[in-house]
Amino acid sequence: MREEAGGAEGAGTGPPTRAGHVALVGRPNTGKSTLLNTLLGSKLSIVTSREQTTREQVLGLLTEDGVQMVFVDTPGLLAPRYLLHTSMLEEALAAVGDADVVLLLLDPTRDEPPVPTDDVLERLRSRGSALQVAVNKVDVGAPGAVARLTEWCRSSLGREPLLVSAATGEGLEALRERLVAGLPESPFLYPEEDLAVQPVRFFVAELIRETIFEEYEQEVPYSSGVRIEEFREAEDPVFIRAEIFVERASQKGILIGKGGAAIKRLGSRSREKIEAFLGQRVYLDLWVKPLAGWRKNAASLKRLGYRVPEAK
């Protein structure tokens, strides 16, 4: 990412451009996806009140004032308990290793260590001056908790954190300046007008997953994975067929509900979001399939499009 310095050389005028990847990392529920959306001014990454919402990297582009920031939203840093968790942690740590700037988000509303393990702490420290830290949710965090996290940053990382709120926008201008300062001179990596990098069907599957988190309780959202099987965009309405994979037959019953009432509501709420995202009318066809224990099985993870953890 760094060799191609020189930016807008060919143009011969003005200062060179800067571009690079900024990874947003932190424990589950710290507000990484909310921050991505606020920085972009557009809802790209799904957000819920429950932890472990994000399972894969989500890239969002912000190009302005001669700078292109490729934000990489990541799954929460956690101590894995099953294979999907290991996949999620690898996605997050890959971003920690690859990005030009790594922004660690801390959450003052949660009473737990700021990072899950010593190994994760080491991986963050190893990025040296590429690591930045922000305490998020200062709109609701108790001053004492914010002070404790600030002290932890100083003593454990040798860093002064910025205090921000992804919800209200507080502190984000200073944050943006600090992130830009860490980017190399480089030509833009993507077309200037692009907002996203991943295919539309990825975001469609994510919106269905977000709605499952909103509509169902307990384990069901965690046991659900979504795959888009058909996407006919030339049709009006756009025809989309999605499969929701669950781990047990009983969960299929819960998703569908009495007389199909629950899946009907899931379908219409998901469809409204997808229509807003695409700016087009949509016909959404949802199917539920049991895929026994898919969160613990490498072949099933692959089938659902998740990073398959390296065998240890």
Of 7, 28, 108, 161, the one binding ligand GTP (CB under 6 A) is 28
Q: Which residue is nearest to ligand GTP (CB)?
A: 31
Closer CB to Mg ion, residue 36 or residue 291? 36
Q: Whole-angstrom Cα distance, residue 287 to residue 229? A: 10
End-to-end CA distance of the chain: 29
Q: Any idea what the Cα angle at residue 50 is, between residues 47 and 52, rounded to 5°?
A: 80
User: Are residues 66 and 285 in contact, defined by beta-carbon separation less than 8 angstroms?
Assistant: no
| Part in contact with Mg ion (CB under 5 A); list of ranges 54-62, 117-125, 201-209, 273-281 | 54-62
Q: Which helix (H) or strand (E) holds 274?
A: helix 261-278
Instruction: Identify what 270 binds: ligand GTP, Mg ion, none; CB under 5 to 8 Å per kind.
Output: none
Q: Whole-angstrom Cα distance, residue 76 to residue 29? A: 7
Of 17, 30, 37, 54, the one binding Mg ion (CB under 5 A) is 54
Q: 177: buried, middle or exposed (CB in 10 Å: 19+, 13-18, 0-12)?
A: exposed
| Part in contact with Mg ion (CB under 5 A); list of ranges 30-38, 156-164, 233-241, 274-282 | 30-38
| Part in contact with ligand GTP (CB under 6 A); list of ranges 8-16, 25-33, 202-210, 267-275 | 25-33
Closer CB to ligand GTP, residue 83 or residue 238? 83
Does 7 engage in binding with ligand GTP (CB under 6 A)?
Answer: no
Closer CB to ligand GTP, residue 75 or residue 267? 75
Of 17, 30, 33, 165, the one binding Mg ion (CB under 5 A) is 33
Near ligand GTP in 31-90, by CB under 6 A = 31-34, 47-49, 51-54, 75-76
Q: 202: buried, middle or exposed (CB in 10 Å: 19+, 13-18, 0-12)?
A: middle
Q: 189: buried, middle or exposed (CB in 10 Å: 19+, 13-18, 0-12)?
A: middle
Q: Whole-angstrom Cα distance, residue 298 to residue 311? A: 10
Residues that bind Mg ion in the complex, under the rule CB under 5 A: 33, 53-54
Q: Would you tell me which residues interact with ligand GTP (CB under 6 A)?
A: 28-34, 47-49, 51-54, 75-76, 136-137, 139-140, 165-167
